[in-house]
Structure 1
Amino acid sequence: MNVENVLLEVARASILNEFNNSFKIDKQELQKEFSILQEKRACFVTITLNGKLRGCVGSLVAHRNLLDDVIQNAYNSAFSDLRFARLSYEEFKQINIEISVLTPAVKLEYKDTDDLKEKIKPFEHGIILECENKKATFLPQVWEQLPNFDDFFTQLSKKAGFSDSCLSLNPTIYTYTAIKIK
């Protein structure tokens, strides 16, 4: 079994444990077999049901090992994403899980919106936007739904709490990439 399959099984087990707490994850054995699981890494766990978002929670900054980050974010995606009701067992049986393991975010220096457009790589970069004490992120795969630069940044700005795009305010922008596992 490869590490990608292990991570998906661990995410599923983390959620299943809420419904059947006899299911256990042998963290020591897994970390012994796959050393990457011991590394401090940040990830997001996205749950979809019938092709629609059903939960997405993650870490932008690595603050625990990858195994624990997947376990916690999978659980929180299913039961603590405030946009959705807690996942039911009936839904659990039908969900798809995707894990995005993030690279560390890097601050992007830019002069203006045109310069930013030149430096952003759609479909590759995840974006963290910070402006006026507000912050939001979109994973790289969000480009699939919002491939237009202006639409992408307008929706990201709205996610951060602005009524429209905040690019005219020269927000701080960080980029990262993600390894998608599904």
Structure 2
Amino acid sequence: MDLAEGAEAVVYARRVIEAALSRRQLPNHPSHGVFGDKGACFVTLRTVPDDELRGCIGYTEAIMPLGECIQQCAVSAAFHDPRFPPVTSDEFPSIAVEVSVLTPAHEMYVKNRGGLPAEIIIGRDGLIVEYGAFKGLLLPQVPVEQGWNTKQFLDHTCVKAGLPPDAWMKSDKVKVYSFTAQVFDETAPGGKVKKRDLFR
């Protein structure tokens, strides 16, 4: 996805939320080019200038066209993230929108579980930890923003899944998957869109 397509994705996500706040019909999702192909994405909302998370919802699997995925995730991030109250019209002008477009996740295999951290690159990889009904995901930008190393990244992904921090180390039954993402966000609410460079 190039910058123009990423900018279109972010602008569209903002338009969807604005329409929902105004109780208007949601704008049709784009279906040309990459937006018509099945894709997985997350929409993240952050407050400005505090840079606090305000909502983040997404799909890890490409089960619908990317344009439709962006629409659904924008609505869910703004109004249905169980960690936060619904976004209001008064606060939305102070919220920046970010869209992450994900690649398919692949299970990580190592001979020794202790070798997992060495296989992860901060800024490139997102992680999914799965054990039975327990599942947690952290996007590639999270460890960059938090200043974590790869072991801390694994620990926190386990916690996100509702597991002990060292669960990834304790059992082969705890599955660890990695994926990458292209991340596009607004420099200011409703402002210019840039592609994030996540590498330190």
TM over 0.5, shorter chain: yes
Q: Counterpart amino acid of 1:157?
A: C
Deviation at 1:83, TM superposition (A): 0.3
Deviation at 1:146, TM superposition (A): 4.3
- Check whether the contact 2:41–2:102 (CA below 8 A) recurs between aligned residues: yes
Which consecutive aligned stretches of 4+ in structure 1 deviate over 3 angstroms post-superposition? 21-24
Q: Counterpart amino acid of 1:58?
A: G
The change in CA–CA distance for 1:22 and 1:162 in structure 2 (over 3 A counts) is: closer
Residue equivalent to 1:83: 83
Residue number among 166, 171, 175 corresponding to 1:172 in the alignment: 175
Deviation at 1:23, TM superposition (A): 5.9
Residue equivalent to 2:4: 2
Deviation at 1:2, TM superposition (A): 2.4
- Check whether the contact 1:103–1:176 (CA below 8 A) recurs between aligned residues: yes
Deviation at 1:40, TM superposition (A): 0.1
Deviation at 1:173, TM superposition (A): 1.1
The change in CA–CA distance for 1:100 and 1:173 in structure 2 (over 3 A counts) is: same
Q: Distance in 2 between matches of 1:164 and 1:109?
A: 19
Q: Counterpart amino acid of 1:176?
A: F
Mean Cα deviation higher: 72-81 or 111-120? 111-120
The change in CA–CA distance for 1:146 and 1:117 in structure 2 (over 3 A counts) is: same
Deviation at 1:107, TM superposition (A): 1.4
Alignment of 1:53-68 (within 5 A): 53-68=53-68
Using the size of structure 1 for normalisation, the TM-score is: 0.91
1:113 aligned to 2:113?
yes
Instruction: Show CA shifts across 1:85-133 (max 9, x none).
Output: 0001111111101100000111111122332122112221111111243
Q: Distance in 2 between matches of 1:17 and 1:100?
A: 21
Identical positions, percent: 30
Secondary structure of the residue that 2:91 maps to in structure 1? helix
- Check whether the contact 2:45–2:77 (CA below 8 A) recurs between aligned residues: yes
Q: Counterpart amino acid of 1:117?
A: P
- Check whether the contact 2:118–2:150 (CA below 8 A) recurs between aligned residues: no
The change in CA–CA distance for 1:162 and 1:22 in structure 2 (over 3 A counts) is: closer
More helix by share: 1
Return 5+ residue gaps in structure 2 as ranges: 186-200
Secondary structure of the residue that 1:89 maps to in structure 2? coil
RMSD of aligned Cα (Å) = 1.7
Q: Distance in 1 between matches of 2:126 and 2:98?
A: 15
